[in-house]
Amino acid sequence: MIESQADQDGKILPRFQSPALPRLVYGCGEVERVGELVLESQGRRILLVTDPGVVAAGHAERVEKSLKKAGIDYAIYDRVRENPTTEDVNECVAAARRERIDFLIGLGGGSSMDTAKGCNFLFTNGGEMKDYWGTGKATLPMLPMIAIPTTAGTGSECQSYALIADEKTHRKMACGDTKAAAKVALLDPELTLSQPAKVKACTGVDALAHALESAVTLRQTPMSRIWSREAFRLIARSLSRVLSDGADMSARGEMMLGAAYSGLAIENSMLGAAHSAANPLTADYGIVHGQAVGLMLPRVIAFNAECPEAREIYLELVSIGKLSADESDPELSIRELVAYVDRVLEQAELAVDLATLGVEESRIPELSQQAAEQWTAQFNPRTVLAEDFEGLYRDALRPRNSTVPSGTKAESLGK
Ligand SMILES: [Fe+2]
């Protein structure tokens, strides 16, 4: 977080402290080193937390093989569901207690890693998930964990936050503590090959949103900016390739790194209004997270670009992503950034308006109220109130009108 102080000339200097980073182990086939990595961390009794799709894809088996080879005892909890709830975490904790574990592996998308982290809070510190809503509320040591993503999207492998929904209200609670962060983020691009096309599209768009949102928040620091910028550079040049050619391993590798770097950025800087607007759409309509975030993102960028500090950062990202035909024209460059996100959504075959997804206009005031109450809204670079979310949602009812002149870079991206 930026805490500022003024120097003798009145110039504001940032002050920040970076959290401990997970050790990143990256490369095709590296998943087979998991047993060795557990031994290095002195894990003896493991709970492998995953979901049925990941098991069916054969990834859990590869992990098991490596654990067996290293002579490590393990048990599997393979009942993770999308958008895990307090109930899911409780069930996972019961398995952890039954098996008397001393180490966790989260294998899968964000949901598996969030469930493993949520389990870690309750297994080691007791109580309920709501006791840890916020930051740094765990007082006792937590178990070491290895996070192994099978999607390139959430960046959960590089964050200390577990996103757990309340079973009854479906409101997402972000429960964070540096002790809950994985010791190792094991990034093996081969594991993303099994993603269904829709998952690839939604997680890729989510990663793009993470890079763009974390870059401009009020909490961004000199260090988070490094991660956001590099994440955006990697994602801007690889997402379109991954969407058009599933076999392009170099693009998949860049996406996986881009998603992890975005996660590191978020750990330092949090997220903004696109995520605030997306959460009620997921909670009330069951719209998949990446779809909801991606649909709101172009509107939020246009909204935030009115804020000079955010605008400056967006222009820098336009340059990093080589998105503009004429960087000397800031108005055009911002429009090209917005149009680029539109193009990605189109290429990912995601919906570009809320009406298509069944969102009724009459529900907008209620959704806007919920969006304004989201944890991430406070970090948006431009103050965003319920009335602002109402404007963003109303605009999102219909497809956006692209105002980028023909022949520009954004127009040709993704074709
Ligand atoms: Fe997200």
Give mean pLDDT in consecutive 10-residue pieces for the chain, a chain of 415 residues: 56 74 95 97 96 96 98 97 95 98 97 97 97 96 97 94 90 92 97 91 97 96 95 97 92 97 94 96 94 98 97 97 90 95 96 96 97 94 97 95 53 40
Dist. CA 45–CA 64, nearest whole Å: 13
CA 168/CA 170 separation, integer angstroms: 6
What secondary structure does DSSP assign to 323-341, as a single string? --S-TT-HHHHHHHHHHHH
Quote the pLDDT of residue 364.
98
Phi, psi of 189 (to 5 degrees): -60, -25
Provide the Cα torsion 318, 152, 353, 212; round to 10°. Answer: -30
Q: From ligand 1's centre to the CA of 289, what distance in Å?
A: 7
**CA 378 – ligand 1 centroid, Å:** 16
Q: Give 19's DSSP letter.
A: P
What are the residue ranges spanned by the domains of the chain? 23-193, 197-412
Retrieve residue 39's tokens: 């031994």
State the distance from the centre of ligand 1 to the C-alpha of 196, rounded, in angstroms: 18
Rounded to the nearest whole angstrom, what is the distance from the C-alpha of residue 279 to the centroid of ligand 1? Answer: 9
CA 301 / ligand 1 centre spacing (Å) = 15
Neighbour count for residue 64 (Cβ, 10 Å): 18
Question: Is the CATH number of domain 23-193 3.40.50.1970?
Answer: yes
Between the CA of 341 and the centroid of ligand 1 the distance, in Å, is 15
Please state the separation of Cα 264 from the chain's center in Å: 10
Residue 305 in contact with residue 313, Cβ under 8 Å?
Answer: no
Please give the distance, rounded to the nearest whole angstrom, from the Cα atom of residue 176 to the centre of ligand 1.
Answer: 15
Task: Read off the DSSP letter of residue 107.
Answer: E
User: Residue 415: how many CA atoms within 13 Å on its side-chain side?
Assistant: 7
DSSP type of residue 218: T
How many Å from the N-terminal Cα to the C-terminal Cα in the chain? 39
- Indicate the SS3 state at residue 63: helix
pLDDT, residue 351, reads 96
Ligand 1: distance of its center to the CA of 10 in Å? 37
| C-alpha closest to that of 273 among 173, 178, 378, 175 | 378
CA distance readout (Å), 299 to 20, 283, 313, 318, 335: 34, 20, 17, 16, 11
pTM for this predicted structure: 0.91
AA letter at 252: R
According to DSSP, residue 317 is labeled: H
Determine the pLDDT at residue 413. Answer: 44
How far, in Å, from the CA of 68 to the mean position of ligand 1? Answer: 34
5 CA from centroid of ligand 1 (Å): 32
Query: For residue 210, how far is its CA from the centre of ligand 1 (angstroms)?
Result: 6
Q: Does domain 197-412 have CATH number 1.20.1090.10?
A: yes
Rounded distance from Cα 209 to ligand 1 centre (Å): 7
CA of 362 to the centre of ligand 1 (A): 26
Question: What is the C-alpha to C-alpha distance for residues 67 and 186, in angstroms, rounded to an integer?
Answer: 14
pLDDT of residue 181: 96
Q: For residue 202, report the distance from its CA to the centre of ligand 1, in Å.
A: 10
Report the separation in Å between the CA atom of 177 and the middle of ligand 1, taken as the mean of its atom positions. Answer: 18
